[in-house]
Amino acid sequence: MYSEANSGKCIIFSAPSGAGKTTIVRHLLAHREDLAFSVSATSRARRSNEKDGADYYFLSVDQFKERIDKGDFVEWEEVYTDQFYGTLKSEIERIWKLGKHVIFDVDVMGGINLKKAFGDRAIAVFVKPPSVNALEQRLRKRETESEESIRRRVAKAGEELATADRFDQVLLNDNLSEAKENALKMVSTFLET
């Protein structure tokens, strides 16, 4: 279990790609000043609209593996071949030093691993899409994924949906406005107890 003096709580949002977790996390950040976003590290290619250090810390595959060997990650995973994602210990410490709680927007295995690392100091929320078909439509609307990437993400979504019962809360996102408000209630209740 991860421990750090003067540490806050952790809010973990996980979901298959396209379920709406990033939109929900942005809503929470806009409505709660006591939260700060944990920027994940990745070895995947940067999209045109992404900024290093804001959306992700972009590392080469070799740099990522070096950081793994040094023990710099709270958790990490090779999601696809040579596509690593992880949470740097230094990122958590940075946020806690600001006196804020950490909010994560991570893939499903990352969420499960973060919950293991932080235990009762974390709430893990699984954002569930109304269906795999709706998920595919959302990925296509983004216009940021190749056809191969969409197929790969949709195929993985079935496996990820089966892990929902490993989370503290399941948040259905079939109506975005309702999902945002329900997420705010969940987080507020957790932080105020």
CATH code assigned at 121: 3.40.50.300
Supply the pTM of this predicted model: 0.86
pLDDT tens sequence across 112-147: 999 999 999 999 999 998 877 777 787 787 777 778
Residue 5 lies in a domain: no
Phi, psi of 118 (to 5 degrees): -105, -10
Half-sphere exposure of 33 (CA within 13 A, CB side): 0
Residue 3 lies in a domain: no
- Dist CA 131 CA 53 (whole Å): 33
Residue 111 lies in a domain: yes
Exposed, middle or buried, 108 (CB in 10 Å: 0-12/13-18/19+)?
buried
Count of domains for the chain: 1
Residue 1 lies in a domain: no
Domain that holds residue 130: 10-191
At 183, list the tokens.
């997420």
Amino acid at 151: R
At 116, list the tokens.
């293991």
pLDDT tens sequence across 73-102: 999 999 888 999 999 999 999 999 999 999
